[in-house]
Amino acid sequence: MVKLSVIVPFYNVRAYASETLRSLRLNAREDYEFLLVDDCSTDGTDGILERAAEEIPGARLIRHERNGGLATARNTGLDAARGDFLAFLDGDDWVAPGHFAGLLAALEELDCAFVRTDHVQCTARARTVCRVPVGRRGEVLDPRDTILPADRSTAVDYPYAWAGMYRRELLEKGLLHFTDGLRTAEDRPWIWRLHREADSFAVVSGLSIFYRRGIASSLTQIGDVRQLDFLRAFDQVLAETAADRDSARLLPKAVRTYCAVMAHHLGSDRFEPAVARALRAQGGAALRRMPQDVLDEVLGAMGGERAGRLRRLRRRHPLTGAEVAA
C-alpha cells in the first residue's frame, strides 16, 4: 500500500535534477512513491530521470508528449497518485533527509486536512529563511481564518504547493488540482481555494525544504508573454472569492494582492517591449474588471509608488459607458 505520493515535475533542469533526485533517494521508504513527471524536456533531463526511475525505490517516470507547464504537470502527477497523503517538490529544488517523514508524522498526529511548513530560499550561495506567515504553530486551525487581514501578509500570500503535505480527501474534493495551462502564478488560485474550502490545517516549523531562486530558465527570470498568466490566475481568484459566502470580507484581500503583484510587474524592466505593452493593456482591463469601490479602498490604503502606478494605468484605461452602467 502506498502511504505517500510525492509529485515532482521536471522541465529542462539537467543541471539541478541530480541533486533533487538524490534528496528523494535519501527520503525513500517502502510505502512512498515518487512520481517523476517529465514535461517534455529537451536538455537531457529525460535521460537522468530514466536512470532515477530504475534506481530510486518507489520512483515512477511519467512522460508528457508535449510541454504543458507546471500546473499541468502537477495535475498529471495527482491523477496518477495512489497515496493516502500527497506532497509536491519542484524538479530544481531539494529536501533534507527525513523531510517527508516529519511532515507525515505531524499531519497524522494533528489529524487535520493539511499542514504547511517553512522553507529555505537559495539564491546562488545566499540562504534566506522564509516562514509561513501564521504565528500559531503545531495547532489545528480553520484555514479560512488565516486569509485576513487584507493589509498584512497572510497564509494565502505563501502559496508554495511544495511547502506542505495534504490528505487524499482534499484531492477527492477537487481542492488539489491546478488550473491547466497556467504558466505562472498557478499556485495563487490553488492556495485561495484550499484556504476557503478545506476544514482544517496546521503550520509546523521546520527548515528541511530548499527552494532554488535565480535560475536563468525559471519563469520568474524570464520576461516573455507567459508571465502575463498571473492576470488569468488572479482573475480566477477574484471570481471565485466573489462567489464565496464571505465575499464582502475577503474581496479586499484578493484585490489588494492582485494589485500588489500587478504593480510589481509594472515596475519591472525585464519584459520584452511587446510584452510590456500587453501588460499595460491587459492590466488596465483587469483594473476595470475589479469591483471599483473595493479598488478605490485598496489604492487608498496602499499609497506610495505602487498605488501611483496603478492609478496612472487606471487613468489611461478608464471605464467604458457600458461598464459604468453594468
Is the pLDDT at 32 greater than 70, yes or no? Answer: yes
For residue 154, CA distances in Å to 88, 110, 157 come to: 21, 21, 5
**Strand residue runs (E) in the chain:** 4-10, 32-38, 59-63, 85-88, 94-95, 114-117, 119-123, 126-130, 164-167, 201-204, 209-213
The CB-side HSE value for 209 (13 A sphere, CA atoms) comes to 29
DSSP letter, residue 113: S
Backbone angles phi and psi of 138, in degrees to 5 = 65, 30
Contact at 8 Å (CB) between 231 and 186? no
Report the pLDDT averaged over residues 62-78: 96
Task: Report percent pLDDT > 90 for the chain.
Answer: 89
Full-model pTM: 0.93
pLDDT (tens digit per residue) in 146-173: 999 999 999 999 999 999 999 999 999 9
Rounded Cα–Cα distance for residues 97 and 33 (Å): 16
Q: Which three cell numbers stand for residue 297?
A: 479602498
pLDDT, position 215: 63
pLDDT, position 319: 53
pLDDT (tens digit per residue) in 179-234: 998 999 999 999 999 999 999 999 999 999 999 997 654 444 456 788 999 999 99
* Mean pLDDT (the chain, rounded): 94
